[in-house]
């Protein structure tokens, strides 16, 4: 059994049904929120959003109804589903990530339905908003800062494993924030005296072709950058990690839960929970252009000691002291 020492525990189960409304739609509810998810990976964001709104006194079934559409990992389905969601005429549209926000922005370009993203990387550089202070247009939300935190993740990896000197950095060249992350990682690596090798991956097939015993030989760790594709390849990366005894430094708590050596960033749940207050402001009449984009309230380092043991890693005690959650 897995024992987790953490400040907040949560066991959640959500079933997504692609292209369908989720839950009853009581007529007495005051508001309707349409939510777009690229895959079930985003489930905890929705749980956090609902709980955050409930804590603000906006209760599901009484004050608010939700329409949830899920692309089930099929990225090409996002725009059609976004258009379908817009046609439902909800009071606010919620994107559970950057790719979902792009789809909703395109689908709603000729309408004035407000859009809130609950966790997107480099929202300014990616063109979602004009600036954090003045988003402009009909969209605002929570920038998860994952692109900018790439350097900090490398730094924490080095603190946990001082013997790490050569790191493979995975990125999706189709994701604009990747280039922000790459620059930051390269600068950080130079400061830390770490040699890095960047590998571009734009599909599962390319991942299988480029990552193998030959390409991993001589490297001490893998650092995947933020992207929807690499999120969907979590199990593939985990299998690779165990097969070749090479640790992976992830982003989300749930990645460490599944077996990554460690992860650093804002959890899916907390992104949704934080986004709830922005959604509440929109429901209460504020325009998105008047609501600044927020950055994470909480950042967490999660370390999986079970994985460390499987990989034969020796952790630095000082580095481990930075962890908010330790999985034993």
The arithmetic mean of pLDDT across residues 228-234, rounded, is: 92
For residues 216 and 87, state if they share a domain: no
In this predicted structure, which of 92-96, 122-126, 197-201, 261-265 has the lowest mean pLDDT? 122-126
CB distance 90 to 56 below 8 Å: no
**Residue 205 Cα distances to 210, 229, 233, 236, 321, angstroms:** 9, 12, 11, 11, 38
Does the pLDDT value for residue 264 go beyond 60? yes
The arithmetic mean of pLDDT across residues 292-312, rounded, is: 97
CB distance 150 to 183 below 8 Å: no
Does the pLDDT value for residue 282 go beyond 50? yes
Per-chain mean pLDDT for the chain? 91
For residues 10 and 42, state if they share a domain: yes
DSSP state of 245: T
For residues 158 and 89, state if they share a domain: no
Work out the widest C-alpha separation in the chain, in whole angstroms: 62
- Structurally, the chain folds into a number of domains equal to 2
For residues 171 and 103, state if they share a domain: no
For residues 120 and 208, state if they share a domain: no
Interior/surface letters 31-50, b for 16+ CB within 10 angstroms, e for the rest: bbbbbbbbbbbbbbbbbbbb
The C-alpha torsion from 31 through 267 and 188 to 173, rounded to 10°, is -60
CA atoms within 13 A on the CB side of 37: 29
* CATH number for 13: 3.40.50.2300
Using pLDDT thresholds of 50, 70 and 90, give the confidence band for residue 23: very low
**What pLDDT, on a 0 to 100 scale, did the predictor assign at position 176?**
86
Residue span of the structural domain in which 233 resides? 150-266+301-327
Cα(27)–Cα(70) distance, rounded to whole angstroms? Answer: 24
Could you give the percent of the chain with pLDDT greater than 70?
91
Does the pLDDT value for residue 11 go beyond 60? no
Using pLDDT thresholds of 50, 70 and 90, give the confidence band for residue 28: low
**What pLDDT, on a 0 to 100 scale, did the predictor assign at position 18?**
40
Using alpha carbons only, what angle is made at residue 142 by residues 138 and 145, rounded to the nearest 5 degrees?
130
For residues 134 and 273, state if they share a domain: yes
pLDDT tens string 159-218:
999 999 999 999 999 988 899 999 999 999 999 999 999 999 999 999 999 999 999 999
The arithmetic mean of pLDDT across residues 33-37, rounded, is: 98
Cα(280)–Cα(275) distance, rounded to whole angstroms? Answer: 9
For residues 214 and 319, state if they share a domain: yes
Cα(28)–Cα(171) distance, rounded to whole angstroms? Answer: 47
Cα(279)–Cα(228) distance, rounded to whole angstroms? Answer: 23
Contacts of 310 (CB under 8 A, 6+ apart): 242
For residues 9 and 94, state if they share a domain: yes
Angle between helices 150-160 and 177-192 (to 10 degrees): 40
pLDDT tens string 61-79:
999 999 999 999 898 999 9
**What pLDDT, on a 0 to 100 scale, did the predictor assign at position 119?**
96
Rg (CA), the chain: 20
The arithmetic mean of pLDDT across residues 17-21, rounded, is: 41
**Comparing 86 with 27, which gets the higher pLDDT?**
86
**What pLDDT, on a 0 to 100 scale, did the predictor assign at position 27?**
52
């Amino acid at each position: 059994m897995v024992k987790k020492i953490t400040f907040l525990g949560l066991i959640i189960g959500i079933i997504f049904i692609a292209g369908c409304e989720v839950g009853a739609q009581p007529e007495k509810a005051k508001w309707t929120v349409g939510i777009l998810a690229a895959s079930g990976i985003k489930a905890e964001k929705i749980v956090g959003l609902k709980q955050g709104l409930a804590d603000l006194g906006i209760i599901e079934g009484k004050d608010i109804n939700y329409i949830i559409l899920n692309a089930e990992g099929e990225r090409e389905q996002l725009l059609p589903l976004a258009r379908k969601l817009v046609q439902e005429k909800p009071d606010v549209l919620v994107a559970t990530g950057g790719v979902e926000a792009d789809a909703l922005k395109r689908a709603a370009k000729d309408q004035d339905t407000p859009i809130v993203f609950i966790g997107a990387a480099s929202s300014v550089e990616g063109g979602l908003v004009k600036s954090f202070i003045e988003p402009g247009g009909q969209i605002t939300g929570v920038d998860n800062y994952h692109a900018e935190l790439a350097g900090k993740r490398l730094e924490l990896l080095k603190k946990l494993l001082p013997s790490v000197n050569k790191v493979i950095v995975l990125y999706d060249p189709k994701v604009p924030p990747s280039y922000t992350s790459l620059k930051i990682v390269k600068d950080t690596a130079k400061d830390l005296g770490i040699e890095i090798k960047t590998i571009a991956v734009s599909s599962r097939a390319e991942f299988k072709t480029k990552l193998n015993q030959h390409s991993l030989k001589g490297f001490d760790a893998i650092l995947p950058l933020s992207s929807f594709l690499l999120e969907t390849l979590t199990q593939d990366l985990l299998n690779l990690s165990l097969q070749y005894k090479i640790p992976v430094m992830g982003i989300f708590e749930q990645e460490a839960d599944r077996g990554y050596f460690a992860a650093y960033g804002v959890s899916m749940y907390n992104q949704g929970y934080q986004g709830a207050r922005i959604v509440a402001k929109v429901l209460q009449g504020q325009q998105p252009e008047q609501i600044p984009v927020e950055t994470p309230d909480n950042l967490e380092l999660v370390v999986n000691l079970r994985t460390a043991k499987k990989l034969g890693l020796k952790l630095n005690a000082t580095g481990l002291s930075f962890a908010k959650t330790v999985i034993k």
